[in-house]
Amino acid sequence: MSQKDFELETGKSYRLKLTRVGFKEYGFMAPELFHDIWIRQIVINGLEVHPMGSLYKLEFDDEGTIELQFVTIRPGSFEWYIEGLKDKGMTGKFVVK
């Protein structure tokens, strides 16, 4: 990850772009953050997804980019991690003020 910690403000709109360039499958997990945001859309290979409800994880089976567009709705500190790689340092946090 090029950045581990993110500072955000409640009520503002954000874009989070995640790109997988390696060979290992992984899932990007941020369960508490996903529960406390309003998801505007998810863009995968130029295709838009407009979900109702929260996410569980963003999973990469192949190389590519997933863009999550969202609005923060609650302040707090929210951990993110890569499923199965948390113990190798693939973790960080979103701090929403």
**Quick one: tokens of 6?**
């993110």
pLDDT of 94 higher than 80: yes
Residue 85: predicted pLDDT: 86
Q: How confident is the model at residue 78 (pLDDT cuts 50, 70, 90)?
A: very high
Q: What is the pLDDT of residues 57-77, one digit of tens each?
A: 999 888 889 999 999 999 999
Q: What is the pLDDT of residues 10-60, one digit of tens each?
A: 999 999 999 887 767 889 999 999 999 999 999 998 899 998 888 889 998
pLDDT of 4 higher than 80: yes
Give per-residue burial for 34-53: e unless 16+ CB within 10 Å, then b: bebbebeebeeeeeeeeeee
Domain ranges for the chain, please list them: 5-91
Residue 72: predicted pLDDT: 96
Q: Which residue has the higher pLDDT, 56 or 79?
A: 79
